[in-house]
Amino acid sequence: MIPLLLFIAYLLGSIPTSVWIGRYFYNIDVREFGSGNAGATNTFRVLGKAAGIPVLTIDISKGALAVALAYLSGFAVGSDEFINLQLGLGVAALVGHIFPVFAGFRGGKGVATILGIVVCIVPIPCIYALLIFLVVLFISRIVSLSSMLAGIAFPIILNLVFGNTNPILTAFSVIVALLLIITHRRNIQRLLKKEEKKIRLFPSQKL
């Protein structure tokens, strides 16, 4: 059962939302424009809100649905076995999002999918990390910087503030932070060169 659930979680994560929406409704591959990333942020940048909002919503849902597969396992809800399976399913979905079998293994960075995963497993620490994302985004208007700082803050909040005692959950939180940094390495280069693009939060703002 568990290998099957992990496989299904990977397939869920592999749904290339931005690629399919871009090709079907706009006849373009979003990976060939903007940052070249098949994620929600680049979809907003290239195709606008009409495409970006559905992509963001579906990518978050992919992580949440993958984690929800744990309820089919028969493990007691809330037990270490149940939580560990949730983490495994989340990782499988995240791998699918970054390396989607349905889109030539060229996917996104996984920020939205990670949000869907952690909000289902540890909702309160996730909300705190999300608040950090929003504060940094409001100040900087740079999505990549906001994502990385929220990701780095997540294991600190989970383990030091909320006193998590599950070692696998601890490892997962650290891996999430590291993965966000690794997948944003080009963004880091642009940030250091002060070339990273900002988003417009309000109509009157300049890009």
Q: What is the pLDDT of residues 34-73, one digit of tens each?
A: 878 888 889 988 998 899 999 999 999 999 999 999 999 9
Q: Which residue has the tokens 């994502």?
A: 147
Nearest to 148 by CA among 176, 117, 122: 176
pLDDT average, residue stretch 82-111? 92
User: Helix, strand, or coil here: 55?
Assistant: helix
Handedness of CA 107, 112, 114, 117 (dihedral sign): negative
Domain boundaries, the chain: 1-121, 122-202
Can you tell me which residue has the tokens 């079998």? 101
pLDDT digits (tens, 9 = 90+) for 103-124: 999 988 888 998 999 999 999 9
Q: What is the mean pLDDT of the chain?
A: 91
138-186 pLDDT, tens digit per residue, is 999 998 999 999 999 999 999 999 999 889 889 989 988 998 899 888 8
CB 180, CB 148: distance < 8 Å = yes
Q: At residue 201, does pLDDT exceed 80?
A: no
Residue 204 has pLDDT above 80, yes or no: no
